[in-house]
Amino acid sequence: MRLFRELHQRGYAGGYGVVAAYARRLRQAQGLPPGHRRARQPLPAVAEPSCQLLTPRRATWLVLRRETKHTAAETQQLRQLREQHTEVAEAIDLAQDFAALVRQRQPAQLDPWLKRATTSTLEALRRFATGLYEDYEAVKAGVTLPWSISPVEGHINHLKMLKRQMFGRARLDLLSRRFVLAPREGQAQAVCPLAPSQVHAAAV
């Protein structure tokens, strides 16, 4: 019970049973006798956290989300995250700056950002910047030109899903018909079907 209270004070939001089972397994692994059973006591009330716990997935979402869309609690979480360590703050700054130059198409900011990233103290960011340098022309075009292959990639992924639904046994004509007639995003018909050559390329 005391362990559960201490964990709860540190932000744990799980149930008492999980903590009790873990403590029991831990005592068994260390060869300790089982804890003394006490009279059944009411479990302490666990208040709902004022904001979501900061998991790695949520921290990534919080960093890359537009700051104008942050709530007051999210802004506070992000500020606390920055204060954890200088390397964390550096990673947040570089990630947000890169997201901004991609969203706003700022090609003039690409080279300064790459220079900062390649001299970063974080190995993961240095590797990422090196990878961008290896495909520099395509990256520069991506933050300069308005065109995107995202719609085509979406169609191809949708087509592959339909192919898997038919266990890969559908011929090209049936697969093309399924693609055109299959509902997408609440619509009764695909609004922009692929050309037959594209259907064939994705199906192969």
pLDDT of residue 120: 95
What band does 113 get if pLDDT is binned at 50, 70 and 90? Answer: very high
Are 104 and 173 contained in the same domain?
no
pTM value > 0.75: no
User: Does position 49 have pLDDT exceeding 90, yes or no?
Assistant: no
User: Does position 188 have pLDDT exceeding 60, yes or no?
Assistant: no
User: Does position 36 have pLDDT exceeding 60, yes or no?
Assistant: no
Domain of 133 in residue numbering reads as 56-142
CA distances for 150 relative to 142, 157, 173, 192, 204, angstroms: 12, 10, 25, 13, 20
Tokens for 158, please give them.
Answer: 């949708």
Are 92 and 161 contained in the same domain?
no
Residue after which a domain boundary falls, among 142, 166, 192: 142
What length is written for the chain? Answer: 204
Are 63 and 135 contained in the same domain?
yes
Tokens for 7, please give them.
Answer: 């964990």
Is the sign of the CA dihedral 161, 166, 170, 174 positive or negative? Answer: negative
Are 138 and 196 contained in the same domain?
no
Total domains present in the chain: 3
Closest CA to 65 of 95, 107, 104, 108: 95
Q: What angle do CA 69, 71, 75 make, to 5 degrees?
A: 95
What band does 90 get if pLDDT is binned at 50, 70 and 90? Answer: very high
